Amino acid sequence: MPTQPSTYLLIPGAWHGGWSWWPVAKRLRAAGHRALAVTLPGLADGDDRAGLRLRDAVDHLVDEVQRRDLTEVTLVGHSWAGYPMTAAAHRLPGRISSMVYYNAQVPGPGGSTADDNPPEVAAFLRDLIESTPDRSIPPTVEFVRQTFMQDVAEDAQRLLAELLTPHPGAYFLDALDAPDTAALDLPARYILGEHDLALPRPGSEFAARLGLEPVMVPGTHEGMLTHPDAVADAILAA
């Protein structure tokens, strides 16, 4: 566990805002650290999602770090956030000290989030995106029940579905305009929920892109909400 105060920038995954990291952020602050939970463009209630590209999410992260003049930052990304987090780290030399991927996709060279899925799923995503006026993917209660948060009561599943926002489609389709994660040469950790069903391939495969074995914690894809103590402890141990 770190002996000096650290700065953690907590980055939400697809459909989520910074609120999804608040329980973990509270615990990191209680341990004496600085924890900032950001919401990326298009993922706040009422945001205009039309025309947003993956580079807009990356630019937002870079601007956040530079505007606050943050240094020695540990970037912590959930799920899809592994993509913009990795690209932002490449643009912030000297400011990032380590990377933590939590139930996250780790980018491969030149790939997109859609590319991490089987071809039939990637095709379905593209068709769904093209069918909505602003080219976004709306969340559904059924998706939350089956994929995101299987370990809680139905009321909690409905609440999460109401908090989620449609996800800009290009965030899934755009290829990462950055070298792959290995080129960062930064310490990294991969944390994986024991019952995560949301990742498009096993979390161990994403961890292997970092040359790591996953650190297992309790919970599903939404463990930062249902098991914040365990997730915070795993982040602090990175």
> pLDDT band at residue 42, thresholds of 50, 70 and 90?
very high
Domain total of the chain: 1
Instruction: Give me the phi and psi of 186, to 5 degrees please.
Output: -120, 150
In a domain, 1, yes or no: no
pLDDT at 169 over 60: yes
Task: Quote the mean pLDDT of the chain.
Answer: 94
Encode pLDDT of 21-30 as tens digits: 999 999 999 9
Active site residue 6: no
Q: Which residues pair with 215 in a beta bridge?
A: 191
pLDDT at 207 over 80: yes
- State how far the Cα of 235 lies from the Cα of 73, in Å rounded to an integer: 13
Report how far apart the first and last C-alpha atoms of the chain are (Å, whole number).
7
pLDDT of amino acid 178: 83
Residue 69: CATH number of its domain: 3.40.50.1820
In a domain, 2, yes or no: no
For 111, the token pair is 């790939």
pLDDT at 1 over 50: no
> pLDDT band at residue 3, thresholds of 50, 70 and 90?
low
| Torsion-angle region of 158 (φ positive above 0: left; ψ -120 to 50: alpha; else: beta) | alpha
> What is the domain range of residue 42?
7-236
Contact criterion met (CB below 8 Å) for 176 and 86: yes
Contact criterion met (CB below 8 Å) for 186 and 69: no
pLDDT of amino acid 229: 99
For 166, the token pair is 């449609």
Contact criterion met (CB below 8 Å) for 81 and 12: yes
- State how far the Cα of 218 lies from the Cα of 150, in Å rounded to an integer: 13
Encode pLDDT of 107-139 as tens digits: 988 889 999 988 998 899 899 999 999 999 999
Given 20, 79, 112, 136, which residue is catalytic?
79
For 221, the token pair is 């894809």
